[in-house]
Amino acid sequence: MIETGLQNRVVIVTGAAAGIGRATAAGFAREGCRVASWDVHETEPQTGGMFQRVDVASAAAVDAAVKEVMARWGAIDVLINNAGILRDAQLVRFKDGAITATMSEEQFDGVIGINLRGVFLVTRAVAECMIPAGQGVILNASSVVGLYGNFGQTNYVASKAGVIGMTRVWARELGKYQIRVNAVAPGFIATDMVKSIPEKVLATMRDHTPLGRMGQPEDVANAYVWLASDAASFITGAVLSVDGGVVTGT
């Protein structure tokens, strides 16, 4: 068994009300961490933890929530930037000789605001607490589509590719303070949102995954726990794909 060294560490997980975020908060709680679960939707706090209603796109809300965590526990050791949304649409849809739809500015800005600006705002606030402590781990949710693109997801792909870029910048900037920064790029994960997709589409996803199944939220949560642990103490600036080989299977 690998010794994680995570006992009693303070962890913030954004987007923790459901899916990967909820599984991640539970995974760190099982390691004996003190977990602050952030979301705009109510959720039960994990064992030994707390829930905070936080809109990650609001700098004021983020700063207030960070201060609350520091006031309660006096440190922030690990940040999981998991919060994200989808607003899918084609850039321009053309049918029967006419343009029938486009991706709206609202669809683009909404996704960028949560998935990219939110990661920036939360990381900035938490880094201000980690730097004086001389240690910390920041893990950002990207996606395999941020590496390879995907039809109908201009906004989402831009946000997830941007997360990878920021991860690499922050690994360089924050390394001298012993703060590690990495990204995780999930593939097709069986969250409640994905399960609502028609079975025909789900079957195609499974067919394009060499391991022959969709991932579970716990598969991604386990990757976060490992990257935050002492076992990954020399890893920074990396992007870990948790995708069952989906890229090589497409």
Catalytic residues: 156
Helix (H, G, I), strand (E, B) or coil at 136: strand
Three-state DSSP class for residue 186 = strand
Cα separation, 52 vs 46, in Å, equals: 12
Instruction: In whole angstroms, give the CA distance from residue 218 to residue 183.
Output: 16
Find the radius of gyration of the CA atoms of the chain.
18
d(CA 213, CA 243): 10
- Of 23, 26, 87, 13, the residue nearest 56 (C-alpha): 13
Helix ranges (H only) for 18-176 are 19-30, 59-73, 105-112, 118-133, 144-148, 154-174
Q: Could you give the dihedral angle defined by the CA atoms of residues 111, 18, 184 and 51, in that order, rounded to the nearest 10 degrees? A: 90
Amino acid identity for residue 105 in this structure? E
User: 33: how many CB neighbours lie within 10 A of its CB?
Assistant: 26
